[in-house]
Structure formats: structure tokens, C-alpha cells
Structure 1
Amino acid sequence: MSRIVITGGAGYIGSLLTGVLLDEGHEVRVIDALLHGGDSLISHIWNPRLRFLHGDVSQAGQWEDLVAEAEAIVHLAAIVGFPACRDVGEQVARRFNVEAVKRVFEVGKNAKRFVYSSTYSVYGVSPDGEAVTEESPLQPQSLYAETKVEAENYLRSVRDAGCAPVVFRFATLYGVSPRTRFDLIVNQFVLEAMTNHKLVIFERDYNRSFVHIRDVIDAIRAALDAPDQKVRGETFNVGSDQGNHSKVDIVHRIQKQIPSVEIEYRDLTFGGDMRDVRVCYDKIERELGYRAERTVDQGIVEVRDAIANRLIAEPQLSRYRNHSFVVQ
């Protein structure tokens, strides 16, 4: 049994990870500012191995006691996505996405492992259309990606500390969790196809990489269990080659599952996070024996059925999107 702290543990990834780790017998300590509410953790509230603390890790507080006692830390707390970072502004984005990383790592310096949630957005574009690797140049196209690069650089600088940092660059997630997000491409497109019966698509030929949320949970578990020499100071892309798709390919796959949807393509760019990238995932498979198993087709069906059967009763609510909140 391990004592694992999850910052941002009520969020899209964190709420699902919390349940998985509790089921495995770990003691789980969740710290979350609850910018999107805390309903995602209700089903675990009576579990004696769960302790929840409402707190903001970008500022000093009681959460520091939990982190100081952790055996492992999974740092998910952040202002996630370029729209959210744009909305809160650079100062707040850097406070949450850079300074908080430094603060949590320093407070948790006695832990054995620090798993950091970054993003493949740091790559920006694929040079000459080639798949990017962990060694490829970083070309962040948004404030969000810039903050992730800065936090990664900090963790690289402390790789020889007692606590072993490992950076995960996640592909774009999809799938259902206790706090599903509908501001992610696959989930969003399925929702719009189900409710509006129409998709308006920009940058149809842009390439993105996608990974199911359950595969992300499996990757985090692999990082927590891996020998120190395999992960200390390392960076891994998290996803699979089969998850590299163009937007138009995603749309065609949705049409197969929701044939009634109407598609409109527009040639218009809007600024922000203009990623066009394919990603290579050889390193994580080679070093950690990890492979993402689920497909976008499975995710489309999963989200479609969750909406159709009203398992998510009001998916239009702002709580299911990361950019519809106010940060002080």
C-alpha cells in the first residue's frame, strides 16, 4: 500500500485515477481547488483510505502537510487548455501552471516519485510532417503550452533530487470519466453531433494525436510502479501510433456511429493553439512496456452511449468545460 497525493484529483483525469488507486488498496490524498465542482468524488467519500482537502496548491496552505507525507505525487492541478489560460491571463496561468509545480515539488521532496501532467501541445507542429519524439524541438503555440514547457524545464533541473520527477506529454484525451470534459475534440464533436446534429469543422486536415482516458490512467500507474532508473528525469509521450488522426478522419469516424450528423467545413483560423502534429510513442513502450490499447472508435461509441442513455444528464453545463470559470 502506498500513500499517493493527487493534485487536481476532482478533475477529468484525477477523479478516475482516484477510484482506480483506491480499488488497488492505496491511501489516496486528493487536493483540489474545485473550480469545476466536486461531484466527481462523491462515490468515494465514505472510503476510509481517501482524504480530501479543498485547497489551492499555488498558495501556501494546509495541503502542504498532505504533500509532505506523500510517498508519491501525481500533479494534475493546472489551468488546462489554451482557452482557459487565455481567459485567466498570463499572471494567473503562470501562478497555477508554473509556480505551483515548483511549490508542490519542493514541499513533496521526500516522496519517491513525482508524476507531472504535461501535453503534446509543447511540440506545436511536426517538422516536415514527421512524427515528433521526446527529443524533437519544442514550438509551443499558446500560453498554455508555454507554461508547460517552463514547468518541464524546472523539473528537468531537479532530476537529481531525492524525489524522482517524470514528465508525461499526454495526447488529446477522450472518453468518459466521473468528470467528463466536453471541450476536447472527440467528446465535443460527439456531443455536437448528438445534440445539434451538425458539425462545423475548421482546419480539417490538421493532424492531432488522441488517447483514451483509461490509457492515461494505465500510464500513470506504470510510472508509479517503474524502477527509479527508468523514469527519473525522463519525459514520455503518452498515446499510441493508432491515435494519430486528422480532424477530417475523426469526423468520418463519428459519421459512421452517428449517420444523421451534417458536416460543414470552413477554411478559417482563429489563433491560439494551432497544433498540427503527429507523435511517436516508441519510447514509453520500450522503456515502460506500456501501450495504449483503446481506439478512437471505441471512445466515440462510449461517449455517444453515455449521452444517449443520459448517464451524463446535462452535458451542456459549464462544469464539463475547463474555460468557463473565474479564478481570483
Structure 2
Amino acid sequence: MKILKNLSQITVSKNIPISKAVRKISFHESGVLLILKKRKIIGYLQEGDIKRALLKNNYSHETKIEKIMNKKPFTIKSNLSLKDKIKKLKINLRFRAPIVDEKNRIQGLLYFTNFTQLSDKQNYHFKTKLRKKIFIVGGAGYIGSVLSRLLLKLNYSIVIYDIFKFGISPVKDLMKNSNVKIIKGDASDTKKIVNTALGSEAVIDLSGIVGDPACDLNPTKTIVDNYINSKMLAEISKLLKIPRYIFMSSCSVYGLAKGKKKLNEKSKLNPLSLYAECKIKAEKDILKIKDKNFCPTILRLATVFGYSPRQRFDLVVNIFTLFATTGKKIHVFGGEQYRPNIHVSDVAKAIKLVLKAPIKNVNGEIFNVGDNRLNLKIKDIALIVSKLNKLSKKKVIIDKSSKDPRDYHVDFSKIKKTLKFTANTNIFKGAKELNAKIKQKKFRNINKVLFNNFSIESKNLYN
């Protein structure tokens, strides 16, 4: 139980729009806004009032809160004892209520979130700077666990929303951070998402099944997780008046490219897998609902590599690094096919730049995320990584009779020009870092299914 006497952070004008109220209400744990006139309450607005208004077609993004606020709120008199104040809340099934004097002038706000955990009277005066709230779906994953830490360093408040199929350990150390809220939930749980995403500055969609082999295991589940859920998440974000939505797509949408011309964001798409097909379908439907108040941005990622708190060893650079570090031969199938690459920390950097960019520069835009310097043939990646332990070229075995059909050389000029993005980590630097982590025994069981997306999906499918 808390009594808030410094009301400046939850006091607003009746003339502010719903869009501003959505952000304002999320900055304080009480979940309420007060509208005052000469210290008297003329309006009271809770998260539930905003959610109900957003579901009605007759209220727009710019509707003033005067039209949706409660003009006769439930109040508690200040002359009551603390025990009687709490009793009155419980009898009336309330979690919060303004405290007023005999002349109906505001004295404070009494609120608590759990009836079973009441504490002594406390006065809270919040002087900390308000932080923008970022809602990360899949925030405990390979990219999400790196991104979460970066955003915290940049003074954002984050919500990590994840089903934790790989466990909670990648973000366990963040649980005590007051600027982090960790919620276990499925991307298909619309009710939970509506309740927890309200007031966010941005939604970052890192959800879904990643990689061709993992997606092929259960096509129906892949379509739901990678297409339907992402489309629904974008629609919820727009409904909640969340201005920014960042969707993770993939350069694999380009598939097999004919000729040596680099593929840019306007190039013809040629998906060779269900994974790529779902990404294309999601991209199109998400961009269809953009408007001046809802700004979706599509990021087509190059093949990601490098160390993460939620490590993966099913990515080309990472698996080559594992082989090199453990003294095994690196097998390359084909080898002449091009693959664009990007370090996981540079993916987080790209997302940061989208968040900070003027909306006009990223609204409805598609960006290939990578660096032209990291467009490399698979065999060249193997040779670079093989230098970790000074292996001879004989340790890289190239099988020209077998070839991965995916072959694409991608142009990353747009993101460099628009967002001034360049990658900080090259293949060798990233592989060297991962090599050190392996030698430090950061991974207790290197063959654990948690390090492989295909393995974890197989386990979930057959268990």
C-alpha cells in the first residue's frame, strides 16, 4: 500500500489527447491520472477507461480525455485512519482512490496492487526522470537479450514479454532492475498483451520461430507464430496508439538471386522456405495499416552471428567458430554462395537508431540490416574463422557436390544513408569473442538443445 502526496507526475489537463494520456499513465505505477481545478478533482482516468475508449470507433487518437474521464470518482476522506482507508477500499473492491479533505480538495492518492501484501504507510515523492517504455516481444531471445541490455544503458524502461522456451536465465540478472518488467506470455495472448503494452513508446517484435529447419518441423505452428501473431501484434499496437512498431524480417526473403547485382529493398523477392514466405506476408500486412500515428518499420536482417546471453550454435559463423575452437574440421557445402552477415550487437544498434530516428524517416520503411563489407562467400567465412586456432586450410573441407540454394548478395546502402548505420563488428572479431566465451566454459553443455532452434522446436513438438 502506498500513499502518494506529490501528485505532479499523475496530474494532467482535461484537454490533453488520449495519445498523450496513454504515455503519461504508463510512467507511474499507480495506473491513474488526476484532472484538477483549484485543487479539486474534476476528472479521474484509469488504464481501464483508456482501453475501453480505444475499443470504440467514435474516439480517435486526438480525442480529449475530458470525453472519457470519470467526472464523479470514488474518493476517501483524509480524516479517516489508515486502517479505515484501507477497509473502505476493500469493501468497495478498489485498488486505488484519491484522498480528499472535507472541502473535497485533493490530499493524495492511496493505492496498492496486492491486498495480501499491505505494508506500513509510506509517502512517495518521485523525482526521477520519466523513461520511455519499450515493449519487447521475444525479449529473452538471441537478439532480445542483447537489445534489452542496450536499451537499459540508454535509459529506456523495458518490458520483456517472452514465453521463455529457452529459459529465463538470459535475462535473470535483469530481474532486480527497477526499469525492467519481465512478463511470461505467449505472443497469441491478446488480453495479456493489451494489458501490458499500453503506454509503450514502441513495440519491437522479435517473436516467432527462427530459421528454415525449425520452421519446417510444424508448418501450421510456423504460420501462426510467424505470420498471424505478428500481424495481430501490429494491430494491437495501433489500437493502443503506440506510435512505433519494429518488425524483424530477414534477408532470406530474397532467396536465390540471379546475376551478381546486389539486392536492395526494392528487389524482387524469391522466398525458398516457409520461414521466408511468412516474413513476406507479415511485412505486407503490417505496412498496410500504417498511418501518420502508427509507424511500422521493417528490418530485414542479414544472417546474425556472435555471442549473446541466449547463445545459438545453429548459425553459420557461430557453428564454424565452435568447430574451430574445439579442433574439429569445418565442413562447407558448396561454398560459392554469398551470405550477408551482421553481429547481434549491431542488430541491437540498428534497432536503437530506428527508435531514435524522426518518425518521418522510418514510417513504413523497409531496411536491409547489415554492412556491405560483410557480404561474403560461405567458404571465405570458413577460412576467416579457421584462423582462430591457426588451423591450416586443410581443416576446412569444401564439398562442392552439395549446395545450399540460398545465395544472395545484399545492398545495405539505404540504412547507411538514412540512419548512418555501419557495423562495428566484423566476422573475425565476433568469432574471436565467441571463441573466448567457449574457452571460458560459458556454456556448460555445448550440445544442449537450448543452443539450437531446430532442436528446441523438435523437443517441444514431440514432448
Question: Which TM-score applies when normalising by structure 1?
Answer: 0.95
* Aligned with residue 41 of structure 1, among 171, 176, 179: 171
Give 3-state SS (helix, strand or coil) of 2:297's partner: strand
Look up the match of 1:10: 140
Q: Partners of 2:297 and 2:375 in 1: how far apart?
A: 23
Q: Partners of 1:170 and 1:292 in 2: how far apart?
A: 12
Spell out, residue by residue over 1:155-202, the C-alpha distance to the aligned partner (whole angstroms, 9 max, x if none). Answer: 121122622000000000111111111100000111122225211210
Q: Partners of 2:184 and 2:318 in 1: how far apart?
A: 28
Q: Partners of 1:269 and 1:255 in 2: how far apart?
A: 21
Give 3-state SS (helix, strand or coil) of 2:455's partner: coil
Look up the match of 2:69: none
Q: Partners of 1:176 and 1:255 in 2: how far apart?
A: 17
How far 1:106 sits from its partner (Å)?
A: 1.5
Look up the match of 1:185: 316
1:98 correspondence with 2:227: yes
How far 1:288 sits from its partner (Å)?
A: 1.2
Spell out, residue by residue over 1:246-272, the C-alpha distance to the aligned partner (whole angstroms, 9 max, x if none). Answer: 01101111122222372222234477x
* Aligned with residue 251 of structure 1, among 359, 382, 386: 382
Asked whether the equivalents of residues 330 and 397 of structure 2 are also in contact (C-alpha less than 8 Å), the reply is: yes
Give 3-state SS (helix, strand or coil) of 1:323's partner: helix
Asked whether the equivalents of residues 171 and 237 of structure 1 are also in contact (C-alpha less than 8 Å), the reply is: yes
Asked whether the equivalents of residues 197 and 260 of structure 1 are also in contact (C-alpha less than 8 Å), the reply is: no
Q: Partners of 2:243 and 2:401 in 1: how far apart?
A: 47
Q: Partners of 2:424 and 2:410 in 1: how far apart?
A: 16
1:127 correspondence with 2:258: yes
Q: Partners of 2:435 and 2:378 in 1: how far apart?
A: 18
How far 1:64 sits from its partner (Å)?
A: 2.4
How far 1:293 sits from its partner (Å)?
A: 2.2
Q: Partners of 1:31 and 1:316 in 2: how far apart?
A: 27
Q: Partners of 1:207 and 1:61 in 2: how far apart?
A: 43
1:78 correspondence with 2:211: no
Look up the match of 1:116: 247
Could you tell me which runs of 5 or more consecutive residues in structure 1 were left unpaired when the two chains were aligned. none
Q: Partners of 1:58 and 1:184 in 2: how far apart?
A: 27
> Structure 1's 270 and 204: CA in aligned 2 closer, same or farther, altered over 3 A?
closer
Asked whether the equivalents of residues 238 and 281 of structure 1 are also in contact (C-alpha less than 8 Å), the reply is: yes
Q: Partners of 1:148 and 1:159 in 2: how far apart?
A: 17
Spell out, residue by residue over 1:182-236, the C-alpha distance to the aligned partner (whole angstroms, 9 max, x if none). Answer: 1000001111222252112102111100011111111000000111110000000
How far 1:71 sits from its partner (Å)?
A: 1.4
Look up the match of 2:400: 267
Look up the match of 1:140: 271
How many residue pairs get matched?
A: 325
* Aligned with residue 293 of structure 1, among 424, 445, 453: 424
Percent identity, aligned pairs only? Answer: 32
* Aligned with residue 288 of structure 2, among 157, 175, 181: 157
Letter paired with 1:93: T
Q: Partners of 2:433 and 2:444 in 1: how far apart?
A: 15
Give 3-state SS (helix, strand or coil) of 1:103's partner: helix
Asked whether the equivalents of residues 97 and 148 of structure 1 are also in contact (C-alpha less than 8 Å), the reply is: yes
Letter paired with 2:374: G
Look up the match of 1:63: 193
Letter paired with 2:230: V
Look up the match of 1:22: 152
Q: Partners of 1:59 and 1:73 in 2: how far apart?
A: 15
Question: Which TM-score applies when normalising by structure 2?
Answer: 0.68
Letter paired with 2:165: L
Look up the match of 1:219: 350
Q: Partners of 1:317 and 1:293 in 2: how far apart?
A: 30
1:234 correspondence with 2:365: yes
Q: Partners of 1:77 and 1:279 in 2: how far apart?
A: 24
Q: Partners of 2:206 and 2:197 in 1: how far apart?
A: 14
Give 3-state SS (helix, strand or coil) of 1:128's partner: coil
Letter paired with 2:155: G
Q: Partners of 2:257 and 2:290 in 1: how far apart?
A: 27
Q: Partners of 1:25 and 1:151 in 2: how far apart?
A: 31
Letter paired with 1:195: T
1:54 correspondence with 2:184: yes
Q: Partners of 1:177 and 1:161 in 2: how far apart?
A: 35
Give 3-state SS (helix, strand or coil) of 1:324's partner: helix
Could you tell me which runs of 5 or more consecutive residues in structure 2 were left unpaired when the two chains were aligned. 1-130
Q: Partners of 1:18 and 1:300 in 2: how far apart?
A: 22
Spell out, residue by residue over 1:75-131, the C-alpha distance to the aligned partner (whole angstroms, 9 max, x if none). Answer: 0011101011011x2211010111111211111111110011000000012221211
Higher relative contact order (CA 8 A, sep 6+): 1
